[in-house]
Amino acid sequence: MSAPGVEAKSPLPTVLGVSALVGFVAVFVVPVASLVIGALGTPPGEAPWSQGFFLHILGFTYGQALVSAVLSGLVGIGAALVYSEMRFPGRETLWRLSLLPFALPVLLVALGLLGIWGQSGWLGRFLPPGLLYGWPGILLGHVFLNFPLYLKAVGTALGETEREPERAALSLGASRVHCFFTITLRRILPEIRTAFVLSFLYCASSFLIVLLLGGGPRFTTLEVAIYQAVKIEFDLALAVRLAAIQAVVSGLLYVAFLRQGPRPAEARSASFPLYRLGNVWLALLGVGLTLLVGVPIVGLVVEGGRSLGSLDYGVLARAALQSLKLGLLACGFSLGLTLPLAYGAHRGKPAAFRAWLGGAANFPVSVSTLLLTVGWVVLLKEKQDWFRGSLIPAAIVQGTIALPLVFRTLQDGFRRVPAALYPAAASLGASTWQILTTIELPLLKRTLGLGLVMALSFSLGEVGAVLLFLGQDNETLPLWIFRLMGRYQFSEAYGAALLLLVMMASLFWGIGRLEEDHVRAQS
């Protein structure tokens, strides 16, 4: 793990890393460990599935996750290349709003996709009936939800790495394809690995998409079994044993893919178009992405637009405000914990400490969200009055769930900061704190903005933690949407969903603006 110029002379990064680790233990390790310890002594009850079916579930869970993550990667990397290599109208819009699919509540995504591709959908009606249900639907849903991870990570990396070697190679006569595979791809590999592992694990714990777009119990993930164990049977001993399988798989993935050392130092320069993809490719990719992402979102907008006249705006405004508060809190919590963690994992010492921090921060992605929330419920079982109605516990849970995503984003960002800058600044007498605040953080502005957007998008569409921890009278927008649907008021629910969409879009837009202003102020 160790590379020259990485370790700081001052103990600051280590101290920051250790204190963030303490916070991490409090919000993640304690609830999960208390659940595990409590469950280990009890034997699990009889499972409501047969052994043969369980083996099938295991195979399907990880098989579909692999295919989904690879396909999302192809689409996401393609989109990132288009974004970084081309200048076209709507380019910035695409970039800023591209996390929208990732942020929307999954039920809305599923209904949106079915509104377009279902057998009575805008486009699906021209296809053979029922074609979508099964593998095509599951893959479509997962690519829709996961390609933004690749687009954002790879796009940010391409925007922050230096492109001189490619220019040199091209001017020396290398073919564009050769140049891409030998130079560019190698430099964005860490981001691709990160996005791959994250999207693989998200798809492996997919629940609603797999059931609803799969169409039947043939398509069942391990998460469905965990849901049964946690919520229906309330057999925590069984749930913990199932979750252990998930943890082992993601532990293996982490060791295989994410434990890589920092990259060598690079000088920075502005990125510029290198691969002049032909207009035909651009058009094809544009049409593909529009069909995949644009149309379902337009579908939701149209559907929502129909009921704008009949909405209760007083309730909606309150719910929107509540969502906003919760989102910002979750974001603040997530970044507040992740930034020192990532910094410690980058500059702390010794090397083993850095590796441990990295492993710890990735761990939440390997544990089912259901298990984390039920861990909190068990831990706080007698303290309901203490937290009901307060936003803080929901924000903490959401922030913890988003932690691996934000951590990976920041860690990759820190690695892109040219390693030579630190020793250079230090030799001129700058303190570690000065280097962090005046050199490293400003260089990470896009990455920080991305981390913010990611944490925010996690929180804005999330309902599980909200349902568990928030009181009855302070519902967030997604919770209100679900309540409306639960009471037959689907058209009102779509109207509220449009509002949520607009809110998310303007937040993402605003954060994009902030990032950009900063770029301009710097240059």
Rounded-to-integer distance, Cα 146 and Cα 197, Å: 11
**Residue (177 or 473) nearer to another protein, CB:** 473
Q: Which of residues 97-116 bind another protein (CB under 8 A)?
A: 107, 110-111, 114-115
DSSP conformation letters of 106-138? HHHHHHHHHHHHSTTSTTGGGSPTT-STTHHHH
Helix (H/G/I), strand (E/B), else coil: 197: helix
Smaller CB separation from another protein, 240 or 485: 485
DSSP code at position 173: T
Closest CB to another protein among residues 262, 304: 304
Query: One-letter amino acid identity for 157?
Result: A
Residue 300 binding another protein, by CB under 8 A: no
The site string for another protein over 375-394 (x = CB under 8 A, - otherwise) reads --xx--xx-xx--xxxxx--
Q: Which residues contact 319 (CB under 8 A, 6 or more apart)?
A: 475, 476, 477, 479, 480, 496
Report yes or no: 400 and 27 within 8 Å, Cβ to Cβ: yes
Q: Pick from 88, 181, 234, 313: which binds another protein (CB under 8 A)?
A: 234
CA dihedral 270, 272, 274, 276 (to 10 degrees): 170
Please report how many Cα atoms fall inside a 13 Å half-sphere around the Cα of residue 381, on the Cβ side: 7
Cβ proximity to another protein, 19 vs 119, nearer residue: 119
> Considering the complex, what minimum distance in angstroms separates the CB of residue 38 from another protein?
11
# of chain residues touching another protein (CB under 8 A): 92
Contact 14, 349 (CB under 8 A): yes
**CB closer to another protein out of 190 and 512:** 512
Task: Assess 121 for contact with another protein (CB under 8 A).
Answer: yes
Element (DSSP H or E) covering residue 316? helix 313-347
- Which is closer to another protein, CB of 264 or CB of 510? 510
Specify whether the CB–CB gap between 409 and 444 falls below 8 A: no
250 binds another protein (CB under 8 A): no
| Smallest separation, CB 389 to another protein (Å) | 7
On whether the CB atoms of residues 161 and 186 are closer than 8 A, the answer is no
Closest CB to another protein among residues 261, 471: 471
| Structure tokens belonging to residue 354 | 């850095």
Burial 275-288 (b: 16+ CB within 10 A, else e): bebeeeeeeebbee
> What residues between 332 and 371 interact with another protein by CB under 8 A?
332-333, 335-336
CB of 198 to another protein, least distance (A): 23
- Examine residue 350 and say whether the peptide bond preceding it is cis (omega within 30 degrees of 0): yes
Give the nearest distance from C-beta 214 to another protein in angstroms.
Answer: 8
Closest alpha carbon to 226 in 205, 200, 247, 250: 205
Cβ 110 to another protein, closest distance in Å?
7
Task: Give the HSE-up count for residue 339: Cα atoms under 13 Å, Cβ half-sphere.
Answer: 18
Check residue 133 for interaction with another protein (CB under 8 A).
yes
CB of 468 to another protein, least distance (A): 7
| Region 167-226 residues binding another protein, contact defined as CB under 8 A | 207-208, 211-218, 220, 224
Structure tokens at 430: 């700058």
Interface residue with another protein, options 145, 329, 341, 361 (CB under 8 A):
329
Kindly write out the interface string for residues 482-511 of this chain, putting x where it contacts another protein by CB under 8 A and - elsewhere. xx-xxxxxx--------------------x
Binding mask 253-272 for another protein (x = CB under 8 A): --------------------
> What DSSP character marks residue 309?
G
The only residue of 9, 91, 186, 231 in contact with another protein, by rule CB under 8 A: 231
In order, the DSSP letters of 380-413 are TTT-HHHHTT-SHHHHHHHHHHHHHHHHHHHHHH
Choose the stretch contacting another protein; rule: CB under 8 A; options: 151-159, 262-270, 355-363, 472-480: 472-480
CB of 78 to another protein, least distance (A): 29
Identified binder of another protein from the candidate list 13, 262, 449, 478, rule CB under 8 A: 449
Member of 11, 129, 273, 288 binding another protein (CB under 8 A): 129
With contacts defined by CB under 8 A, name the span among 269-277, 326-334, 353-361, 415-423 that binds another protein: 326-334
Amino acid (1-letter code) at residue 430: A
Closest to another protein by CB, 167 or 318: 318
On whether the CB atoms of residues 24 and 367 are closer than 8 A, the answer is no
Considering the complex, state which of residue 114 and residue 145 has its C-beta at the smaller distance from another protein. Answer: 114
Contacts of 131 (CB under 8 A, 6+ apart): 119, 124
The amino acid present at 353, given as its one-letter code, is F
Q: Residue 211 Cβ, how far from another protein at the closest point, in Å?
A: 5
Pick from 171, 427, 472, 523: which binds another protein (CB under 8 A)?
Answer: 472
Residue 499 to residues 172, 304, 328: CA-CA distances in angstroms? 53, 8, 18
Q: Residues 32 to 91: which contact another protein by CB under 8 A? A: 46-53, 56
Q: What is the smallest separation between the CB atom of 313 and another protein, expressed in angstroms?
A: 13
Q: Is 474 in the site for another protein (CB under 8 A)?
A: yes
Among residues 251, 264, 308, the alpha carbon closest in space to that of 420 is found at 264
Radius of gyration of the CA atoms of the chain, in A = 23
Q: Which of 172, 267, 280, 521 binds another protein (CB under 8 A)?
A: 521
Shorter beta-carbon distance to another protein: residue 65 or 114: 114
What is the closest distance, in whole angstroms, from the C-beta atom of residue 471 to another protein in the complex? Answer: 8
Minimum CB separation from another protein for residue 220, in Å? 8
Q: Is 467 a residue that touches another protein (CB under 8 A)?
A: yes
